Amino acid sequence: MWLELHDSDGKSIFVNMENATDFRRWNADDLYTQIAVGGFGEKGRIVHVVEDPGTIKTMIDDAQLRSR
């Protein structure tokens, strides 16, 4: 599923969360959540967004409920 997230300038970043391997903030005071996208056998990339991991998880849960 695709989520509309945002960069530090407030611009939309559309992330295919089905390709995400994990998302986290390394430290409690981090301003950005890192989303790792790509498989282990391919070159992945990191996307930085302002939404916190809890908000992203809620967005995923909501999208899954709507798709049922």
Q: Where are the domains of the chain?
A: 2-66
Residue-wise pLDDT tens digits, 12-45? 999 999 999 899 999 989 999 999 998 666 678 8
Q: Amino acid letter at 20?
A: A
Residue-wise pLDDT tens digits, 46-61? 999 999 999 999 999 9
For residue 15, the surrounding DSSP H or E stretch is: strand 12-16
Q: Which of 3, 1, 16, 2 is nearest to 51 (CA)?
A: 3
The model's pTM: 0.86
pLDDT at 6 over 90: yes
**pLDDT given at position 43:** 76
Token duo for residue 41: 């056998």
pLDDT at 62 over 80: yes
